[in-house]
Chain A
Amino acid sequence: MSYERELLKGSTDSLLLRLISHQPMYGYQIIKELEKRSNGYFQFKEGTLYPALHRLERDGLTQGKWQKLPAGQERRYYYITQKGQQALTERVATWQGFSIAVDLIMQSSSG
């Protein structure tokens, strides 16, 4: 497994929680939004997004609900739960601490 894929695997849940914390979204919408917000950096293997979404739902971090679009088709929207919001807050704090520490080492010029 490549380093980039490993990093993405470890961050997928946080990325998904962050996106749906702004507004409830359905699977395809999430994929497009991730791609747009990362300037095309995050391109998921589309089918594998759904197991990740269902895992979050199983763990009680999100809740899926079928809803009708204005055009009449039904889509499964994912809502963040209170537990999910708490988990996201913790993950963001952990990520920020980790990112600062990695930057301090990676960008140090003294070697």
Chain B
Amino acid sequence: MTAKPNYFSNLKNQLRIDPGVESSVIRELDAHLEDKSQDLRESGLHEDEAVETATQLLGSPRLVARQMYEVYSQGSWRQAFFAALPHLLVATLFALHWWQSTIWLLALLGAVICVVIYGWCHGKPAWLFPWLGYCLTPVIVVGTLLINLPGGWAWLAAIIYAPLALITIFLVTKQTIKRDWLFASLMFLPVPAVLGWRLALGVEDMFHWYERLYDAALWIALSFVVLAVTVTTFIRIKQRWAKAGALLMPEVLVLAIVALVSKNSISFWFWLFLTLLSLFLLLSPALLERKIRKG
């Protein structure tokens, strides 16, 4: 009597749709198996044999999961806009030089936190994850800024802050991967751009850093517009492989913008390293998912 639980376990592993819809699909297929097994028993098959045959006739769980995913994976234009909104807000912040205003920065941070809490408590819809990424980005940026503290303070900060930051990121990523690893990649999307700009502009000299940031603001805005377009494409595409491609390709473009603007501060080899590291970061949730499911 393992055919049915195995089938549903395989199906659940590959379905990757909204949990509410998922439970309805499982319930519907379970009802189908109940009816089919009943018919097969009436035609003379033994109980176990009937369930096994009914399960086989349902077809490959992989195929059913893929087709069901394609039905539900395409978000509406409204969802796509809402998912792209945090990137557009950051782009606006830089395009209009509002990044210099503490009020605007706090307003954006407040909006991100409110939206994330709302989305997390309402079934983690696809539009939540780009917002969630912005909740994690400050954690990483603060970490890189602490490295620049003078003397032993940098070490102390690293010892205390780094494990806390890593645990937070890991726990949020794990929860996200349980829904779908692609959403974790969607969440990480702004991280390479933020790190790229952070490295390109440098922070050693505060005055020059501010000046460089002012000069590069329009380019930074453009890179976040690219991320917004990426997210919109991701939400509107149905197929998984195309969604993964849609996340990876524009990241290279964003890092190319960073390299072009930074002129000599990033060498080609460092840019290549950064690009490969970014692609690894975006694909790492897939590896983690495999590990979680095997474990």
Cβ of A27: which chain B residues have Cβ within 8 Å of it?
28, 31-32
Cβ of B72: which chain A residues have Cβ within 8 Å of it?
54, 58
Q: How many residues of B contact A (CB 8 A)?
A: 22
**Which of B28, B59, B61, B67 has the most chain A CB within a 10 Å cutoff?**
B28
Cβ of B61: which chain A residues have Cβ within 8 Å of it?
47
With known contacts A28-B31, A73-B34, A76-B24, A51–B59 Cβ distance under 8 A: no
How many inter-chain residue pairs (CB < 8 Å) link A and B? 53
Q: How many residues of A contact B (CB 8 A)?
A: 16
- Secondary structure at the B interface, as helix, strand, loop or mixed, is helix
A95 in the interface, Cβ–Cβ < 8 Å? no
List 9 other contacts, CB 8 Å, given A46-B57, A58-B72, A76-B24.
Answer: A28-B32, A46-B59, A47-B29, A50-B25, A50-B28, A50-B64, A51-B70, A51-B71, A73-B31
Cβ of A75: which chain B residues have Cβ within 8 Å of it?
31
Minimum CB–CB distance for B238 against chain A, Å? 11
**In-complex Cβ contact of A54 among B36, B60, B68 (8 A):** B68
Cα distance, A76 to B32, chains bound together (Å):
10
**In-complex Cβ contact of A76 among B28, B57, B59 (8 A):** B28
With known contacts A74-B31, A76-B28, A46–B68 Cβ distance under 8 A: no
B71 adjacent to A54 (CB under 8 Å): yes
Cβ of B36: which chain A residues have Cβ within 8 Å of it?
28, 46
Cα distance, A54 to B71, chains bound together (Å):
7
A42 in the interface, Cβ–Cβ < 8 Å? no
